[in-house]
Amino acid sequence: MSENDCPKTNPAHVAIIMDGNGRWAQKRGRPRLYGHHAGARRVREIVEACPDLGVKYLTIFAFSTENWKRTQAEVSGLMALFRRYITREARALIDNGIRVRFIGDRIRLDETLVRLMDELELLTADNDAVHLTVALNYGGRDEVARATKRLAREVAAGKIDPETVDAETLARFLDTYVLPDPDLVIRTSGEARISNFLLWQSAYSEYEFIDTLWPDFTAAEFSRVVGSYARRDRRFGAVPG
Ligand code: FPP
């Protein structure tokens, strides 16, 4: 690997699959929701570490389109946790210059939660220190399907010539249209899968699968993982330089 192949800088956009809350709780003989609450407390520490690491965009996977298959008690507990998290963290997020966005399909989320999400997006719309994107009822395939539906409507309405449609056109209809693609995707808890997260956007992302369970993931470990990215060789399909 030559010097020129290294990104050298830290990743501008890090995406995280926060996995392992359930096992963390189980190891302590506690219910799964106890692990989710511990996981939620970690989020602030990781967000706050971003500016010093040069991470401008942080995207976290909070609830997937597949997570509805969990027990009703866990799903409603998670939804209550999201409502409470937004209510409690709003002040700190606003004051710390965090711009919050939500991606995913809001259609299945309860009205109160959607209202809180809309409000937080609005209240933080002028912030620019860190762009925090929370994926809630998000699935990569679902996102591409929804984007395709919107694009098809524009074609049907005669606003887009189908012959001009390319990857760039479709990307404009994705939930993430204002965000750069992630440079680095981290998954905690030792599982090496991407679980339908940012499928389109992570085409050239680097991946780090680490064993730590999400509630144990500290800012120090985040910093180490982000630092190791700078030593990687990213070529975007090109030959080594
Ligand atoms: C995966 O652990 C985690 C989730 C499905 C939920 C992620 C949610 C949080 C970290 C809580 C808060 C987030 C915000 C933005 C407030 P798992 O339950 O799949 O763990 P397991 O694989 O050990 O069972």
- Determine which of 62-71, 118-127, 227-236 has the lowest per-residue pLDDT on average: 227-236
- Phi and psi torsions of 56, nearest 5°: -90, -30
Q: Which of 7-11, 48-52, 55-59 has the lowest mean pLDDT?
A: 7-11
H or E element: which one contains 45? helix 32-53
Task: Say if residues 46 and 222 touch (Cβ distance below 8 Å).
Answer: yes
Q: Can you name the CATH fold of 10-139+181-228?
A: Undecaprenyl pyrophosphate synthetase (3.40.1180)
What residues contact 240, with CB distance under 8 A and at least 6 apart?
Answer: 1, 2, 5, 233
**Given this model, what pLDDT does residue 2 score?**
43
pLDDT classification of 236: cutoffs 50, 70, 90: confident
3-state helix, strand, coil in the chain (%, to 5): 45, 15, 40
With a cut of 80, say whether residue 235 has pLDDT above it.
no
Read off the pLDDT of residues 164-195 as tens digits, 9 standing for 90 and up: 999 999 999 999 999 999 999 999 999 999 99
Q: Please check whether residue 135 is in contact with residue 100, taking contact to mean a CB–CB distance below 8 angstroms.
A: no
CB 46 within 8 A of CB 87: no
Residues with CB under 6 A from ligand 1: 18-23, 32, 36, 39-40, 43, 60, 62, 67, 81-82, 85, 134, 189, 214
What per-residue confidence (pLDDT) applies to 240?
Answer: 67
Alpha carbon distance 127, 135 (integer Å): 19
Three-state DSSP at 61 gives strand
pLDDT band for position 47 (cuts 50, 70, 90): very high
pLDDT digits (tens, 9 = 90+) for 25-41: 999 999 999 999 999 99
How far, in Å, is the centroid of ligand 1 from the Cα of 111? 22
pLDDT single digits (tens) 198-217: 999 999 999 999 999 999 99
